[in-house]
Structure 1
Amino acid sequence: MTKAIFALLKKDVLLELRQQHSFYGILLYVASTIFVLKLSINAPEGETWNGLFWIIQLFVCVNAVAKSFLQEGRGRMLYFYSISGAKEFIIAKLIYNIILMLLMSILSLGLFFILLKNPLVHTISFVGIVCLGGISLSLVFTLLAAIAAKAQQNAALMAILGFPLIIPQLLLLI
């Protein structure tokens, strides 16, 4: 079981390393959004800063995680299911998306600190919350991406199903 999970995880990492345009596209989205925020509201207050951070993280997660299942065609999915079980496939995708979202969350937080300053009182605690929040966002949207992939590869379905599910989580994070 773990051998199949690591093989699928290795496949996803190698695919991401070969096709870095999606990673850098998301990073460009984060940097440009934060830069526009810097130009429009130079140094926001703590609550505004926090709300903006989590809204940006939400859209980063939707963009980053959506491609994990939607990039896999039906033939490729059939191949993966033939070499491993569905459970291993889902676990590998969950682990990969957790790693990706943790990386994007930390990079986003660093850019927020650099460009919008740090209005936080408990920075270390917030870094832990960012890591846990990134993990939870990636878990929810990975499972929603799996559902959307089975429904004719419809990314809009993931967004429609995801936002009502994610609102309570966002309220806790903000």
Structure 2
Amino acid sequence: MAASEERSFGRMIVVSMLVLFLEAALALVLATVFGDTRAPEPGEERVNAYGVVLLPFAVLLAPLPVAAVSAALVVPSVLLGEHLAARLGGPLAGWQLLLPAVAGALSWPLAGWRGWLVAAACLAVAALIARHARRGFFVSVLVRGTVVVLAVFALGGVGVYAGVID
């Protein structure tokens, strides 16, 4: 394998950021499908002017915490998992699943055990996908992840329309 096609720290960060963004998009789709679908009461506002004005700034600032999570939690979990598997033995994926679960414990004081479970799952998926980050892998993850998000949205829409999901 050529040196330009090998995995690098930068490629792992970019792929893990993409995976975290796709997970956020999937969470948004699921919140839309399973969220509050009733008609608003008179006087009840779902969108206010502050949300509309601040939304473009939120989109511009969203990569900062995602990059921090990728650089501080996801990529070190991948690298440390590889090191521990080489030193102590055991399956590589097992170490790379254990370390994000430990890192997800940082969310326990803020969100309780449910928040820990969600954080551990999100970090574990990002770590397991980022460990394969090679040249050209970004586009593959982007296409497949977008197809998954759109499929969940379409199936959720069909479920809401058919009355299966209230």
Q: Same fold (TM over 0.5)?
A: no
Scaled by the length of structure 1, what TM-score is found? 0.33
Which structure exhibits the higher relative contact order, with contacts defined as CA atoms closer than 8 Å and separated by 6 or more residues? 2
Normalising by structure 2, we get a TM-score of 0.34
Larger of the two Rg values belongs to structure? 2
